[in-house]
Every structure is written in C-alpha cells, then in structure tokens.
Amino acid sequence: MELKEKILATAMHLFWEYGLRRVSINDICSELRVSKKTFYSIFKSKSSLIEAVLEQIRHSKYHKFEIEENDNIIEYVIAGSTALRHRVKDNDKHAQIYFDLKKYYPAIFDQHIKSIKQNTEDLIINILEIGIAQGLFRTDLDLPLMKVFVSELYSSLATYAQANKIPFSRMVMFSDDAIFRIACNERGIECYRSLLDKRDSI
C-alpha cells in the first residue's frame, strides 16, 4: 500500500472514531509514524486531506451501486435499500462527521453535497432507464421530474425521521414502496410483490 493510501485509510479511521475536528495532522502522523514534512509532501493541508477522504468515500459508495448487465432492476433496488436500512446503527457517527464538516469546513461540505447529489441523480436516471428497458417500469415516466422527486425525497429522509422520531428503516421502506408503485407498470408491480413476498418469508 502506498503512503498516500495509508494516510487516507488512517485518516478515515480516526475521523470516524473521533470526528473531523478532534483529529489533527499530528495524530495522523503519530499513528503512521511519519513526519509532518512527509505528510505535507502528499497533502498540502488538513482540508485537502478531508477532500481526498470524502472523494474516496463517494467513489467506494457508488462503486457498490454498479449495476450488472443481467440484474433485475427491482431486485437490485430492494437489495440496496435493505443494505441502507441495516446501516442505521452507524447514524450517530455519520451525524457527528456531518456536523463537523458543515460547521468547520462549509465550502468542502457544500461541494461534497453537490457531488453526492449529482452522483445520486445519475444513478436514479440509470435505474429508471434500465427499468423501462426491462419492461418493468412505465414508458410514460417523466424522467427529469422523477429524478428530482426521488433525489429530494431520499436526501431528506434521515433528517425528517430524526425530527419526527420515526424509525429510519420505516421511512426507507415506505418511500421505496411509494416510488415502485409510481414507476412500475403492471408487470413490474407483479415482480415487485413477488420479491417482497420472497424477502418477507426469509
């Protein structure tokens, strides 16, 4: 593993454990047993390190969402949603990092959110187009509006669930169900119901 990758991995671990604000360059260098001079030869500042960590997280996250050629798109979305609901236990740590980023690194935060939004909307369009091609989604969907609707809905789920004391997993399941019933044609609805029955029987 190259030193840059080691720094990113160590920073990610420390940020996750202690938050962005509490972790210093000294902490990272001490953990890796490298000098600050060596660190600054790779990253010019803590801000540039944070940007690199966030970029790596986004890349890793969306790599996991790559759609294989033979994937049933409804089954793919249900599997992704199930994985999302199972990550609820990490919400407190996510919230702390989110808070630190927004408060102490607002410019990086804004760019991170912008990048996530763009990646999410690209994924949504891809899913909708594949669903139509597979004969599972309606052909008369307004794709640009559907993209915005789904993106805005999911971006607000965690905040709304927390503010109204609604379980996050319940919010995700409700939203998934509503979107499938909007997007699916008759064949898609049959497939969706069959996959739900299969999931619930496990």
CA distances from 134 to 18, 123, 128, 184 (A): 45, 16, 10, 11
Mean pLDDT, range 2-7, rounded to an integer:
96
pLDDT tens digits along 7-34: 999 999 999 999 999 999 999 999 999 9
User: Top-level CATH class of 1-58?
Assistant: mainly alpha
181/162 Cα distance (integer angstroms):
25
Q: Do domains 1-58 and 65-200 have the same CATH topology?
A: no
Task: Please enumerate, as own/partner, the contacts of 96-101 that have beta carbons within 8 Å and a separation of 24 or more.
Answer: 96/19, 97/15, 97/16, 97/19, 97/20, 100/19, 100/20, 100/21, 101/20, 101/50
Q: Where are the domains of the chain?
A: 1-58, 65-200
CA distances from 41 to 8, 34, 49, 50 (A): 14, 11, 12, 16
pLDDT tens digits along 147-168: 999 999 998 987 888 789 898 8
When the candidates are 3.30.160, 1.10.1060, 3.30.420, 1.10.357, the CATH number that belongs to 65-200 is: 1.10.357
pTM: 0.83
Q: What's the Rg (C-alpha) of the chain? A: 20
Mean pLDDT, range 51-80, rounded to an integer:
88
